[in-house]
Every structure is written in structure tokens, then in C-alpha cells.
Chains A and B, each alone.
Chain A
């Protein structure tokens, strides 16, 4: 009972302090210059490093990753390396910098706005916003699921799953309604620095407590002898490649990441972040995923429906420290969810509400509507998170797969002036429908020429269906663009940035 009081006390106190600091930081920051998004040349590299870092701190990486490393081995570290360290960085340049250049010329703030203007279509603008909000929903759910499972693990099952999920939902809404603005650069920096420090302290603490890595490795060699060898029945080349590609492409279309491409004040922000991605991946994911893997070698038993990380920390570190790590992770998830929700509300107001409902809405009414929208969205996601449709990694993958269906059509449009409005619609709708049908239609098997083949499966021969769906979307964009004439309202030169 005393343990539970410490755990709850630490978690609640930390979340409250984070909220209060967030609100104060927002109030004392008179203009947006402190904001990462509008970061000027004055912002230091360290601050830049940690604000970028804060965007990586989600339940997916912090709890989902260690869970899968515990269950299947540490190869997810490599998936993260290909995905976030290399592929996403390259896309950050190819999509992000190009969008930044275009945004500088035409003043766009959202992806839908940019595409709608280029193709002369409000419908396209609304469609892109709608698709983005649709896939944002499971990603918000993921944070709630992660928090629920974390507190269950921390309290050894005493705090029920729904309570943890409800707690983070409440704080998400409070943060948006009271502060009304994303976290400013230095609160992100403090949170990022804190999380990185406690993660590495946890690694050292566990190593010292168990008597060194040799003990863990010999435990692993008897419990899961296949864990340390690269690859397994689960981690096939097809799985590693398709997961990494789909997520890397999906992340670029994430509202809060994609908006950053438009509103960064200087391209220096984009350049530095580009360079730092692999370092961040290394600093964050190696320790967290190793902790998950080590839990398997240390014979840790995780209660049903709980995350492994808090259980491991409870076993080898003091109660208050384990609670502090979990609280810090939840606070970081809360502030990144917050920027997710705010980007989502900006998509909703700019690309859906104003063009299709009321064009001339007053500024104060717009702010009120945006806040109500966020509260409703987060509450609905909370109820959906109670159904627990899959593991953290599965729910995350599904959301990224949906965003990834936007990426290739957008990329082709950014670089090829020959894309027509019809081509764009065909690619977006085709890719989405194909992917959606595989997510929501149950798998059926059919017999073709004596072979049993699955239909509507989430993976074919180990390849995530999101990948072929991306290819289909890209092929549709190109072929339909060749077959159709541009609409009269299209602006072909909108995406041209070069001087020649």
C-alpha cells in the first residue's frame, strides 16, 4: 500500500509540475520566437537537439519498443535505425526541405492547403485533412493505451488499465485548454534531457543490480537463445524492410511533423535536425530496447496487459525511481500528444471547418472551437483505447501505414509538374481504399489453382500490405495523370522552387 502511495504520488506530482511549468512557460513567453517551430538563428544546438528529441518520445518508442524487444528480441533497434535514423532523415530533406521552400514562397501552413492550392481543389484540401485526422486518431489512442499499460505495470496490476488511460487523457485536455499552445522550446528541452538521463541511469542501475551484462547474457542464452543472433522467424528481412519503409514514409505525413516543414523560420533548423536524427536514434532507442531485451534474460514476468519497462524497473531499482521514469515518459507523451492534437485542430479548422462550414469565423470563436475539437477528439480516442484493438506496435503500425499512403502521391506531385488533379485523387483514394480494406475487412482465404491464398491479410509473405498499397497509389498517380488533362484551375508552377 505504501508503494502504491509513492507511485501514485510521484506520477501525479510530476504530471502536475509538468503542466504548471508548461502553462507558466507559455504565459511568460510573450511571442512565438522561443517556439521551436519558429526557431530563429538564435536557438542553440542543444535546445534544438532536445526539442527534436521530444517528438520521438511517444508511447510507441518508449513502451511499445521495449515490449517487442522483450517478446521477440532486440532487432527493433535496427528497424528504428533504418527507419528514423536513415530513411526518415533522407525524406526529411526530400519532402521537408522542398515543402519548406514552397511554403516560403506561398505561405502555406498545412499540407492540405498546399495541395489544394496547387491543384485548384478545395475538395482535395479537405480530403487530405480528413485522411490525416482519421489516422491521427489511432495514434492518440496509442498514447492512452501506453499510459494505461504503464501504470498497470508499475503498480503490479493494482491501478486498472482504464485509469491510466483516463489520467493521460485528462492531462492532455487540461494542457490544451489551459495553455492552449504547444510546449515551448525550453520545457521540451528539460523533459527531453530528463528522459534521456533517467533512461541511461536506469541502464546502469539495472546492470549494477544484476551483477553485470554477463549475468544477463547467460540468462538470455538459456531463456531465449535466439535473441542475440540477428534475425528470427518474427524478424524476417521482409518484416524489417517493410516496417521500416512504411513507418519512415508515414512519419513525414504526420500533422505535427509535416507542419514543422512549413513553419520553421530558418532552414538551419531543418539542416541541423537532419544531421542529428541518427544520433538521437542511437541515444534513445539502444538503451530502452536493450532494457526490454534484458528483462527476458532476467526472467521478469510481465502481468497480462502491462508494459515491461515499469515491471523491470520495479524489480531492480527503488520504487520512487521506477515511478519517476514512468512519470517522465508520460509527461513527455503528454506534451508530444499535445502538439499532435494542436496540429490536428489546425488541419480541422483551416482545411475543413473554414472552407466547408463557415469561412468567416472570428478569431476567438476559432480558438474556442479548436479547443472543443481537441477535447472531443481526445475523449473519443480514450473510449476507443478501452477496446485495446492490438499491441502498441500493431496500433502504431496501422496508423503509420495509413499516413504512408499519402506520402508517394505528395512526393510525386512535389517533383513532377505533370501530375493532374485526377491523378492526385486517384492515387490518394486508391491507396487509402486498398489499405483501409485490409485493415478493416477480416482475412478470408480463397483457393486458386490448388493453392490457398489469403485475401485482405495485413501482410503477404511477410510484407506489410501498406507497402504494396503505397506502390499502387504511386502507379495510379502517374498513369491517371498521363491519361487525363489538367483541370483549368490547376497552378502548375506552384511547386517550382529553382531559379532556372
Chain B
């Protein structure tokens, strides 16, 4: 079980969190024309990197904040966690 540092609450066990996928995906702005390819990349296409990955977690059984976590997908090592509005 991972031990995730919530920037709002401190170190908490994984079972308080829910996984939210790739944090680097940016939603196209509203009312903006986007190509099928751009839209499909946003909705469906994800990389599955081996190594460092910036991902979203939500502290659902805690402060309910979405946070960004930089984790190694091989070793599960967590390098950094930041609030939703910050970049890693």
C-alpha cells in the first residue's frame, strides 16, 4: 500500500485516495475548434510510461482535494506531490 503525501493533510495511506489518471492531459478550452485527432488524444489516448509519471489522485476519504503525484511506475517511489493548481 502506497504512502502518499497529501499537500493539504500530510502522509496518508493509499486507501484514503482514489486514482485519477495522467495529470499531464490538458482539456481543450471550451468553444474552441479541435481536430478529431486532438480530441481523441484528450479523451482516449494515454501513454503508459515505464518510470516517472505525473498522475492525479483524489483524497476522497480526506480533504477531497485532487492532487498531482509524481510516481515511478516501476518502483512505486513517489518523488513529489503538489496541489491541483501547481505544476510538477
**A-B interaction:** no
